Amino acid sequence: MQLKTNNLKSTIKSVITTAMVCVFAVNLSTAQEIIPDEVDNSKKKMDSTQTSARKKVDGVAAVVGDFVVLDSDIDKEYIQLQARGVSIAEITRCQLFGKLLEDKLYAHHAIQDSITVNELEIRSNIEQQINAFLESKGGSMAELLSFYNKDSEESLREEMFEINKNAKLAGDMQRKIIADVEVTPEEVREYFNSIPKEERPVFGTELKVAQIVVMPEISEEAKQAAIDKLKEFKADVIENGASFTTKAVFYSDDKAARGKGGAYTLNRKRPQMVKEFRDVAFSLQEGEISEPFESDFGYHIILLEKIRGQEYDVRHILIRPEITESSVLAAKEKITKVRERILSGDLTFADAALEFSDEEETKYEGGQLINPYTQDSSMELTKMDPELYGQIQDLKDNEISLVLQDQDRINPIKFKILTVTDRIDEHEADFARDYLKIKSLALQEKQYKEIQKWQEEKIYDTYVKISDDYKSCEFNSNWLKTEKK
């Protein structure tokens, strides 16, 4: 957000590299607490003549292109920030107003650039947002309607649709602006050398962690049972007119999609879901149900509901083959023996990973885990996944953990052992050692400048009208068009 505050540059960078997701569903008691206190106090800082008992006001604060920013939109921004756990004590109304101006600028030009959004996906997200509210501390639809001053669910959903749609447009526009921004090795070096020595970043303690994973084997009988069940579902839908959606809700093992009847929207130009899933979905005709097929997640059948250009609206049912108690015990016994052989010196950890680990991503690298953010093997302690940190925090270098039971989105149960292969203490940034981290910072800096340049140009190309109540705000971007930069 382009706001004139101290040390805001790092905040802007994080915004640039983070997808803009509108979290609409909030707890009502939290929202009611924010409005009379923190939101009002921030308004008083800007204009002491405003009433202290401020409620949502639909006065027009600004117009940006085809979009209007309402005064009450700022209150909603406060509510959503606190709902995400962000402290709002030091955030002023002017700052949030500046962010809203940016969001509308992005959304306006996204439409001008013919960027489109998937309405089905947005409405699905709205259902999840409403359900999240209704499940939190016993919230009710009546309370939600009352808070947003809506007289019907339909009008509430329409407002939510516009909020989510515009947030998606703004995020897609940002990503388009910086899509082609890259940095060369020389630019990385110049960026690093431009940082005064006393201001160079300090990187926290980093660990390199390796693991060996053993998964319970699934019998052929269990696999066939899953296939047969899916065939029964398909036959019941085709021959008896049963509802595919209902079966997905009651029987699918895909918990993420079960609540929406197994629905997904795929796009031929944007890889989504595993390859096996995409290949089958794109081979179907509208109304056709696939034969059962296998992926890493289990066995599926897909119903293709509609083709909309490059987008395919599908529903699927996932059945995971049953894992027997005997196969679980066998997997645990296997990894226990592997651990014993490593401790006895019969095998190195790396050799054991290559020979016995069932995790394809790590076994050929000695079991070494890769940091998903930097794509190298070093993981900063303070940014490590909390679950992983809990598993290795007491390990000394090259010590082997006890056998741990774990799970992931693909495997409901697995066993693993871990070891810390290297430890790098907290240190000032070093160009050679920390090249990938420095490259990331240099890229963010270049993206930030690209965003700045785009904003300066588009503000002058776009109709912008700021209400007199907000002209006293100090903006980092030239929203008042007082001079051309």
pLDDT digits (tens, 9 = 90+) for 148-189: 777 888 888 888 888 889 999 999 999 999 999 999 999 999
Give Dmax over CA atoms of the chain in angstroms: 79
Q: Establish if 175 belongs to a structural domain.
A: yes
**What is the distance between the alpha carbons of residues 335 and 357, in angstroms, rounded to a whole number?**
9
What is the mean pLDDT of the segment spanning 76-87? 74
Q: Tell me, yes or no, whether 24 and 149 share the same domain.
A: yes
pLDDT at 129 over 50: yes
Q: Which residue has the higher pLDDT, 319 or 274?
A: 319
Asked whether residue 195 is assigned to any structural domain, the reply reads no
**What are 383-421's pLDDT values in tens digits?**
788 888 888 888 888 899 999 999 888 888 999 999 999
Residue in the structure block whose two tokens are 């997997």: 331
Residue 277 placed within a domain: yes
What pLDDT does 325 receive?
94
Report the interhelical angle of 153-178 vs 93-112 (nearest 10°): 80
Q: How confident is the model at residue 39 (pLDDT cuts 50, 70, 90)?
A: very low
**Structure confidence at residue 359 (pLDDT):** 94
Bigger pLDDT: 383 vs 303: 303
Q: Considering its fold, how many domains does the chain have in total?
A: 3
- How many degrees, rounded to 5, is the angle at CA 282 between CA 227 and CA 125? 85
Q: What is the pLDDT of residue 34?
A: 32
In this prediction, residue 279 carries a pLDDT of 94
Planar angle of CA 357, 222, 273, nearest 5 degrees: 65
pLDDT exceeds 60 at position 16: no
482 belongs to a structural domain: no
Q: What is the CATH number of the domain that holds 226?
A: 3.10.50.40
pLDDT the model gives residue 284: 96
Cβ-based neighbours of 408, under 8 Å, separated by 6 or more: 414
Q: Is the pLDDT of residue 19 over 90?
A: no
93: domain CATH number?
Answer: 1.10.4030
Q: What domain range is 68 assigned to?
A: 9-182+445-470
Kindly tell me if the per-residue pLDDT of 60 is higher than 50: yes
Please count the other Cβ atoms lying within 10 Å of the Cβ belonging to residue 393.
11
**Helix, strand, coil percentages in the chain from 3-state DSSP, rounded to 5:** 50, 15, 35
Indicate whether 37 pLDDT > 70. Answer: no
Average confidence (pLDDT) over 190-210: 92
pLDDT value of residue 10: 40
Q: Name the domain boundary from 281, 302, 319.
A: 319
Range from 50-59, 161-170, 231-240, 332-341 carrying the lowest mean pLDDT: 50-59
Confidence category of residue 83, pLDDT binned at 50, 70, 90: low
